Amino acid sequence: MTIFSASSTAPVNIATLKYWGKRDKLLNLPTNSSISVTLSQNDLRTLTTASCSADFDSDKLWLNGKLESLESVRSQACLADLRGLREKVEAKDESLPKLSQYKLHIVSENNFPTAAGLASSAAGFAALVSAIAKLYKLPEDMSELSKIARKGSGSACRSLFGGFVAWEMGDLENGEDSKAVEVAPLSHWPTMKAAILVVSDDKKDTPSTSGMQQTVATSDLFQHRITEVVPKRFEEMKKAILAKDFEKFAELTMKDSNSFHAVCLDSYPPIFYLNDTSKQVIKLIHRLNEQEGKTIAAYTFDAGPNAVIYYDEINEKKVLGLIYNYFSQVAGWEKYSKDVSTLDKIEVQGT
């Protein structure tokens, strides 16, 4: 039996300007552009091996050792696009094996708990697309591949790039150009760090996909966010990244996290992702910045209570020290030591 295979990894990305809302559910076209930081390959990532053979009788996926379905519309959309691109390669060179006609076996592993609400679908679809693209020897145009990963999970398109990444919402008419592009590589700002505060590793209350649909359908505040707030912030944040202006970057990041959670609360019925511990983290970071007389740390929260804290490495002792101290001194520490189960420092540096 001849088996062809290739492996690839993709790290988790954490949005600093949030994607929340789809204008096309099937194609995962967003209602606004977004920006994120992709963590380093050494931190949270998915490793995927894609194999294909004329002897395989069906497409299969093993995720963390468990057989999972590849039947979802999202997975099927990614596989169909990748096979289509491979067919074009095969049409140009008759001597190539017809891999596009073979069934695929995909083996995928996360080096972090899937349920921890840490954007596992983003790394997952990005690694899947990148491994199959490698197997099919497709041209390495990451923005083109990001359009495919986007159909798997919107935020996945950003994980195909390292460093600071923008997902451009694209033309409202057709959305063909809704893709991820690099704003700057990690090497541009190597002192930028991120720490993940795992407040809870429970599964999300409201999954992102349905949560954002609920917001689009019911929130009045949402229109203001996508038309007035985000377009301006998108340009400002790219500028702050290119200028390595931490204070501006941090302010925009915190404001956008708050704006995103505000539209969640404005949804009907409301969606709550932050818990009391999350709110304490928010207050703590603002207090720290006030004491310092400048912004040295920023928080952001996705569709769950876990915090990601951005800071410059020069301030690491101050920022992480304060968080450790605070949570170990609060009365009833046992409760918090359970809630803040791991305080994991993730270095946003080097790949």
Please report, as ranges, the residues that interact with ligand DP6 according to CB under 6 A.
15, 18-20, 28, 34, 119, 121-122, 153-155, 208-209, 302-303
> 75 or 155: whose CB is closer to ligand DP6?
155
Q: Which residue is nearest to ligand DP6 (CB)?
A: 154
Which neighbouring-strand residues pair with 5? 51
Nearest distance in Å: CB 303, ligand DP6: 4
Is 237 in a helix, a strand, or coil? helix
Nearest distance in Å: CB 190, ligand DP6: 23
Chain centroid to Cα 181, Å, comes to 14
Q: Which helix (H) or strand (E) holds 235?
A: helix 230-242
> 20 or 249: whose CB is closer to ligand DP6?
20
Nearest distance in Å: CB 158, ligand DP6: 7
- The token duo for 224 is 């203001």
> 31 or 51: whose CB is closer to ligand DP6?
31
Nearest distance in Å: CB 145, ligand DP6: 16
Q: Is the dihedral of CA 204, 205, 210, 214 positive or negative?
A: negative
CA distance 66 to 268: 36
Compute the CA torsion angle 113, 147, 50, 75 (nearest 10 deg): 70
> 142 or 320: whose CB is closer to ligand DP6?
142
For residue 218, give the nearest of 182, 171, 267 by alpha carbon.
267
Nearest distance in Å: CB 3, ligand DP6: 30
> 36 or 280: whose CB is closer to ligand DP6?
36
For residue 78, give the nearest of 36, 37, 26 by alpha carbon.
26
